[in-house]
Amino acid sequence: MSLIQRIDALLPQTQCGKCGHPGCKPYAEGIAQGEAINKCPPGGHETIAALARLLDVPVLQLDLARGSAPSQVAFIREAECIGCTKCIQACPVDAIMGAAKLMHTVIVQECTGCDLCLAPCPVDCIDLLPLSATSVSLTGDSAEGHGQRAARDVRRNRARQRYEARTARLHRQDQQRQAERQARLQRTAVPVATQPGPAQAALERIRAKPKTGGDAALKQARAQVAMSRAQLLKSLKAFGHPPIAEQAAQLVQLQRGLEEAEYALAQLQSQTAVPAQEPPTP
C-alpha cells in the first residue's frame, strides 16, 4: 500500500469532517504532506499513537477544540420527517434511505455517527443515540481485545468502501451534468446564429423596405418582446427552485429569445426614428 493508504487504514472512517477535511481519505493525504496527526476526535489517542508509530513522529495530545465523537448512531423520528432528502444528501456513506416527500430512515448497521445529517434537517427530527453494547463502534479507544479490533476493522473497511463509492458516483454525476450543459450550449448556439427569430425577421423586412411597413414591423417586434417576456416569467414561476437540468436549459433559451427580441426592437426603433430637422440658416 502507498503511504496515504496506510495512513487511511488507521483512521476510523467516520467521514465526519471534524479534522477539517471532507473525509478520512483527504485527511490521510494531508497527513502524508505533513499535517498534524491529532485532528481526529473519533480516532482518539489510539489513532494518534498508531499514526505516530507509522510516521516515526512524536505522539501529540488530541486537539480538543475539534469537539468530541462518542460512539453513536442517527435515528430519524419518522412521523415528523417531511421527506426533504437533505439528510440523504449530507450522509457521507449513503446510510439513509428514502425519497422526496417520503419518509426517510437510517440504516443502523451502516451509520458512522458522523452527525452531518443534523444541521441540514429543517424540522429537527433526527436524534443521535448511544450505540448499543452489541454494536461495533468505529471510534478509537473503544475496542478491547483482538476480536473487537478485528470486527471494528471489518466495519471500517465497509464504511470506507461506501464513502469511496459515493464519492465516485457524485463525481460521475458532476461530469455528466457538465457534459449535458456543454451539449445544451452547443445546441442553442447554432439556431441563434443561423435561424433568425420573428423579431429578427421583422428587422430584415424593415431594412429591405425602410419607407414602407415600418409601423407594422415595429408593432410585430413589440408584440414579440411582450410574448417572450411573458413566457419567461411564466416559466420562472412554474419551475421548481432550483430548476432541474431540462428546465434550466429551457430558461436559458427563453432568456436568449427575450434578449434577441429586445435587440431587434431597439434596432427597428433606431432606424425608423425621424431625424430632427436642422434649423434654417439665416
And the C-alpha cell for 49? 499513537
Q: Could you tell me the pLDDT band of residue 254, with boundaries at 50, 70 and 90?
A: confident
User: Which parts of the chain fold into alpha helices (H)?
Assistant: 3-10, 24-32, 44-55, 86-90, 145-194, 198-208, 214-238, 245-272
- Answer whether residue 204 shows pLDDT above 60: yes
Half-sphere exposure of residue 15: CA atoms within 13 angstroms, side-chain side: 23
The CA distance from 179 to 189, in Å, is 15
Q: What is the pLDDT of residues 49-105, one digit of tens each?
A: 999 999 999 999 999 999 989 999 999 999 999 999 999 999 999 999 999 999 999
